[in-house]
Structure 1
Amino acid sequence: MCRHLAYLGPASSLADLVIRPPGGLYEQSWAPRMQRYGTVNADGFGLGWYPAPRSRDDHTGAEDEQLPARYRRAVPVWADVNLPDLTRAVHSTAVLAAVRDATEGTAQDETAPAPYADGRLLFSHNGAVRDWERLVQDLGLTMEPDELLGLEARCDSALLWALLTNRIRAGEPAEDALAWLAVRIRGIRTGARLNFLLTDGRTIWATRCGDTLWYRTGPGSVRVASEPDDAPADESEAGWQEVPEDSLLVATVSSVRTVPLVHTAQRPPAHVSGGVTGIHARRS
């Protein structure tokens, strides 16, 4: 398993989001309190963030062309002596970070830790899928040999990311593709743990499917994490709220909604904070 978090809001240092909060992601690498599988997350870590938009006088590219940056290591997060300086110096309005507890038999190099990236998207998987090497065949899908050979890492998370990006590139909305992936895999891999975290720097999509997931809102900000930190909330912030099991969460700086991960025909009305419509977990 792993621990991960995502943040949208006013520009904040990576240190204030990842390193400094008591009980936060940094401490969860060696002392997670709610992790159901595994005891430490020492098989690597990753930080992903969106650089500040270029100034109007810089004509080398538009804001939409700004791609996220990543810093990933195969060492425990506490063993990287460069991390304190990096996280203190880098500020961003959108961040995705993770600490890794590797699935048995998967890669241990620096390509394996989340976040994975494609264009503006950053992705993390907290969980495990047994017999993942046969997953494409068992889903009744096909992947070209160059796609399989081009996986960023030899692990279940990299394969899940490839399946997800294939659908998004084909035009499926990110939330529908994420829900489809969780529902389909749970249908053929009982017990699969599929807590996904996805962002494009403007929206966070997440699934709770086999482990814990929480969110916390503040003035113009939202955090989504595997488990809460102990940072005190001021009067303008809401406390941490738990996402129900088998749910999909969609969050922006102005609204949060959760929807059950069930087939569309069975889905009850969405629980909404901020007023938005539901989603569809399509089967195919």
Structure 2
Amino acid sequence: MKFIQVLFIIALLMIAPAASACRFWVAVGADLDREFIVDQLITAKNSLKNLGEIYPDGWSVGFYDRGDEVVIRGDEAASFNEEYDEAVRYIAVLEPEIVMGHLRRASSGCVEGVPNPHPFRITYNGRKWLFGHNGGMRKQILIDLIGEDFLARHPPAVCNQNPPESWIDSELYFLLIMKSVKEYDDDVEQGIRAAINKLYAKIEDENRYLNFFMSDGETVWIFRKGNTLFYRFDPQSRMTVVSSTVPDAEPNDWQEFPEDTLAVIRPQEFPRFSVLK
């Protein structure tokens, strides 16, 4: 049995890095039950904890508390790290309205001894923004689209010891989106649409691995392109959960998140989907 598990892990590691990099899970709702959070992130068959061996380059779990973001991070695989369990249980007791988790399998930037930098943080317009990515792309494309002037004024905050080699493509992706949001007078959806269209013009369809989640503490925006993504919505509690991998052994309540699609999610509201292509 162990031999089969090893072969399975090796097979996953042979997948193209952009296609296999990272996993994320996001839940939004006014009544996020603590047992549900623990089950999804620790106990379930395909919880982030149980996927940690395959995505070993650190973990993070986070939430918002009265508009302030709180993120707990680790640099080890979640599968073997008791601090991951402690962080999840701590957050679950608080029952916040927005909870997120991320596993890193690094495709660029610094790795060794670095706690998972996802979700990245930016303070903009009086709000605390978080951004997590599942995918990968050439950093030079992002650098060119962002521009030298903007990068000089807003350089990446993580892995900045030896730029641009040390920079992480995902943080550059975040900066591109935030620059675009600013250019569209803080219209987040239009800013995201413009940034995605710029990337589509530069990246061939088969190499577009652009899944992300982003939040300002009130709203969560989630986009899918290139990697797996699933969601479930409970109309009674109006809880929305989005995950790279279906955590449950019985995935009947889950639906595939449409490609090229942005979801806008708020507590106690039905998620709204729009195609960006």
TM above 0.5: yes
SS at structure 1 position matched to 2:222: strand
Instruction: Tell me the C-alpha RMSD between the 2 structures.
Output: 2.4
* Cα offsets for 1:225-272 (capped at 9, x unmatched): 112121668xxxx8111122222122233212322222xxxxxxxxxx
Q: 2-side partners of 1:16 and 1:128: how far apart?
A: 29
Q: Which residue identity does 2:69 align to in structure 1?
A: P
Q: Which residue identity does 1:126 align to in structure 2?
A: N
Question: Counterpart in 2 of 1:88?
Answer: 89
Query: Of 219, 225, 228, which aligns to 1:212?
Result: 228
Q: How many residues align structurally?
A: 233
How far residue 151 of structure 1 moved from its aligned partner, in angstroms, is 3.0
Question: Counterpart in 1 of 2:101?
Answer: 97
Alignment of 1:54-93 (within 5 A): 63=66, 66-90=67-91, 91=94, 92-93=96-97
Question: Counterpart in 2 of 1:136?
Answer: 143
Question: Counterpart in 1 of 2:246?
Answer: 228
Paired residues of 2:129 and 2:217 also in contact (CA < 8 A): yes
How far residue 111 of structure 1 moved from its aligned partner, in angstroms, is 5.7
Paired residues of 1:139 and 1:184 also in contact (CA < 8 A): no
SS at structure 2 position matched to 1:159: helix
Q: 2-side partners of 1:163 and 1:114: how far apart?
A: 16
Question: Counterpart in 1 of 2:163?
Answer: none
Q: 1-side partners of 2:49 and 2:39: how far apart?
A: 11
Is structure 2 residue 154 aligned with structure 1 residue 147?
yes
Question: Counterpart in 2 of 1:265?
Answer: none
Paired residues of 1:22 and 1:230 also in contact (CA < 8 A): yes
Q: 2-side partners of 1:240 and 1:146: how far apart?
A: 42
* Cα offsets for 1:99-127 (capped at 9, x unmatched): 01111x42115365311122332211100
5+ residue gaps, structure 1, are 31-39, 52-62, 263-284
Change (3 A) 1:48 1:99: same
Question: Counterpart in 2 of 1:193?
Answer: 209
Q: 2-side partners of 1:180 and 1:141: how far apart?
A: 19
Q: 1-side partners of 2:151 and 2:98: how far apart?
A: 33
Query: Of 234, 251, 255, which aligns to 2:270?
Result: 255
Q: 2-side partners of 1:137 and 1:203: how far apart?
A: 29
Q: 1-side partners of 2:39 and 2:128: how far apart?
A: 23
Change (3 A) 1:169 1:19: farther
Query: Of 25, 31, 50, which aligns to 1:27?
Result: 50
Paired residues of 1:96 and 1:122 also in contact (CA < 8 A): no
Change (3 A) 1:160 1:81: same
Paired residues of 2:200 and 2:208 also in contact (CA < 8 A): yes
SS at structure 2 position matched to 1:197: strand
Q: Which residue identity does 1:125 align to in structure 2?
A: H
* Identical counterparts, % of pairs: 24
Question: Counterpart in 2 of 1:56?
Answer: none
Change (3 A) 1:240 1:199: same
Q: Which moved more, 1:216-225 or 1:136-145?
A: 136-145
Q: Which moved more, 1:9-18 or 1:94-103?
A: 9-18
SS at structure 1 position matched to 2:82: coil
Q: 1-side partners of 2:248 and 2:232: how far apart?
A: 12
Paired residues of 2:238 and 2:270 also in contact (CA < 8 A): no
Q: Which residue identity does 1:156 align to in structure 2?
A: D
Paired residues of 1:139 and 1:188 also in contact (CA < 8 A): no
Q: 1-side partners of 2:152 and 2:171: how far apart?
A: 15
Paired residues of 2:181 and 2:192 also in contact (CA < 8 A): no
Q: Which residue identity does 1:260 align to in structure 2?
A: V
How far residue 134 of structure 1 moved from its aligned partner, in angstroms, is 4.6
Change (3 A) 1:215 1:151: same
Q: 2-side partners of 1:169 and 1:12: how far apart?
A: 36
Query: Of 252, 255, 258, which aligns to 1:244?
Result: 258
Question: Counterpart in 2 of 1:106?
Answer: 109
Change (3 A) 1:135 1:232: closer
TM-score, length-scaled by structure 1: 0.73
TM-score, length-scaled by structure 2: 0.75
